[in-house]
Amino acid sequence: MARRGIREYDAKRIFYRMMPQYTGEKIKFDIMPILVDPGTNIDKLPEENPWLENMRLVVKPDQLFGKRGKSGLVLLDASFEEAANFIKQKMGKSAKIGQVKGKLTHFLVEPFIPHDSEYYIAVKMETDGDHIYFSTQGGVDIESVWETVKEIKVGPLEEQEFDPEPLLMDLKADERKLLLPFIKGTYRFFVNHDFVYFEINPFTIVDKKIKVLDMVAKVDDTAVFQNVGVWDFGEFPEPFGKDPTPEEAYIKSLDEKTGASLKLTILNPEGMIWTMVAGGGASVVYADTIVDMGFSKELSNYGEYSGDPSTELTYLYAKTILSLMTRAKHRSGKDKILIIGGGIANFTDVANTFTGIIQALREYSDKMKEVGVRIFVRRGGPNYKAGLEKMKEVGSEISIPIKVYGPELHMTSIIPMAIRDEGKGVN
């Protein structure tokens, strides 16, 4: 439930397809771009897209990162053979963009457009309305010529009254004739298809036709249901370099199969403090408190479970975290800390969800003893007393030090307690 970047390929595909109907057929695009992923047979592409062999081409990675030209990842004015070789050479290879390292897996191929003019248009959705920016001086350095950018705001209740005239005041008649429907149509497209950020920088005009060069777009992913048959890009792409670890991918796969929520991000697999916290808000607060107390380097993971997951799912979630934390002793030789935390649940049966965690704790009791683990529990909500009692019992049963609290203790107080306790377990 958030704003999500989409591939340039998808943004262009949807834009090219929908624009004719938002401009009374005044703006049309003839050639759809092509997306090459690791499963594409590049050599067979011209069979269905003969233009690939008749035109000069552009190739660029399409993985939600910018500054591609500066990183030497854009191929311009190439033949199909050159383009295919470029992709084959780069596919699956690592690249470093800024501080982020990742694997190149998706490339966009489209016609190369020699051009003189470069225009800029961007639309942003903000609290006070939609902001539309336009400049005739587009290009990579738009920020350095920001004074040329004209802006208008369309209030949230005024979408229907949008008038692009003020953006086009200084233009020549033939430019206006083309740009008026283009900007109007772009805004309609933006509004009707739940885009939250949309930028074409630059686009150009060749033979009285608009040609799009670079496009960046973000959409509101809650609006999938309103855009069936238009978006159609299946899964949202992950940001570049966010290749999940096998455990993260596993939890993600569990999460997708249930109405409940299971999240896991590994921050430092060698850290001392591991968290297993119920609830999105509570999980942030626990992580905050660990960081605020100066233990950010020891915070191993961020994650949460919520929405009343079944005993089975909680068991699998707990098992994943326990398997990660019991792989090796902490480098200091000190015990590791497991925080089983949460606020006061509204209706989730605490005893039920704890059953799954307890099952995992039993299974990992030997490994936890090998590595040295101390557990701190805090939780409230329906049936919490029975749940806490079970936790205490399992602690003594498997002989792992465990401290268990209910709502009488401030939610995060187990964090300073655990940290003060730090140093115990040193042999």
2 binds other proteins (CB under 8 A): yes
Residue 212 or 419 with smaller CB distance to other proteins: 419
- Complete DSSP assignment for 292-304: HTT-GGGB-EEEE
Count residues contacting other proteins (CB under 8 A)?
58
Residue 127 or 427 with smaller CB distance to other proteins: 127
- From 52-60, 85-93, 114-122, 376-384, span contacting other proteins (CB under 8 A): 376-384
- From 80-88, 107-115, 319-327, 338-346, span contacting other proteins (CB under 8 A): 338-346
Q: Which residue has the tokens 């929520």?
A: 261
| Residue from 10, 62, 118, 194 in contact with other proteins (CB under 8 A) | 194
| Residue from 168, 178, 230, 267 in contact with other proteins (CB under 8 A) | 267
Q: How far is the CB of 159 from other proteins (least distance, A)?
A: 8
Helix (H, G, I), strand (E, B) or coil at 216: strand
Plot region of 299 (φ>0 → left; ψ -120 to 50 → alpha; else → beta): beta
Angle at which helix 173-192 crosses helix 8-22, to 10 degrees, equals 110
Asked if residue 202 has a cis previous peptide bond (ω within 30° of 0), the answer is yes
Sequence-ordered list of residues with C-beta below 8 angstroms from that of 54, at least 6 positions apart, any chain: none
Sequence-ordered list of residues with C-beta below 8 angstroms from that of 95, at least 6 positions apart, any chain: 61, 71, 73, 101, 102, 103, 104
| Residue from 50, 66, 333, 416 in contact with other proteins (CB under 8 A) | 416
Distance CA 331, CA 298 (A): 11
Q: E strands within 166-289?
A: 195-206, 209-212, 215-220, 261-266, 273-278
Q: Which of residues 96-155 bind other proteins (CB under 8 A)?
A: 100, 125, 127, 155
Q: How far is the CB of 89 from other proteins (least distance, A)?
A: 28
196 binds other proteins (CB under 8 A): yes
First vs last C-alpha separation in the chain: 47
Residue 350 contacts residue 406 (beta carbons within 8 Å): no
Q: Which residue has the tokens 């993260």?
A: 248
279 binds other proteins (CB under 8 A): yes
Q: How far is the CB of 344 from other proteins (least distance, A)?
A: 4
Assigned token pair, 291: 């960081």
| Residue from 327, 413, 424, 426 in contact with other proteins (CB under 8 A) | 413
| Residue from 214, 304, 308, 335 in contact with other proteins (CB under 8 A) | 304
In whole angstroms, how large is the CA radius of gyration of the chain?
Answer: 27
Chain length of the chain: 427
| Residue from 55, 113, 216, 344 in contact with other proteins (CB under 8 A) | 344
Distance CA 278, CA 153 (A): 41
Residue 41 or 346 with smaller CB distance to other proteins: 346
Q: Which of 263, 242, 312, 246 is nearest to 1 (CA)?
A: 263
List the Cα angle 242/245/248 in 5-degree steps.
Answer: 90
The 8-class DSSP code of residue 137 comes to B
Beta bridge mates, 119: 203
| Longest alpha-carbon distance in the chain | 84
34 to 53: interface string for other proteins, x by CB under 8 A: --------------------
Residue 95 or 179 with smaller CB distance to other proteins: 95
284 to 303: interface string for other proteins, x by CB under 8 A: xx-xxxxxxx--x--x--x-
Assigned token pair, 361: 């704790």
Distance CA 350, CA 359 (A): 14
Q: How far is the CB of 56 from other proteins (least distance, A)?
A: 35
245 binds other proteins (CB under 8 A): no
- From 70-78, 204-212, 396-404, 406-414, span contacting other proteins (CB under 8 A): 406-414
- From 313-321, 342-350, 355-363, 364-372, span contacting other proteins (CB under 8 A): 342-350
343 binds other proteins (CB under 8 A): yes
Q: How far is the CB of 119 from other proteins (least distance, A)?
A: 26
Q: How far is the CB of 32 from other proteins (least distance, A)?
A: 27
| Residue from 226, 253, 396, 399 in contact with other proteins (CB under 8 A) | 226
Residue 61 or 343 with smaller CB distance to other proteins: 343
Residue ranges in contact with other proteins by CB under 8 A? 1-3, 100, 125, 127, 155-157, 191, 194, 196, 220, 222-223, 225-226, 239, 242, 261, 263, 265, 267, 279-285, 287-293, 296, 299, 302, 304, 306, 343-347, 380-383, 407, 410-413, 415-416
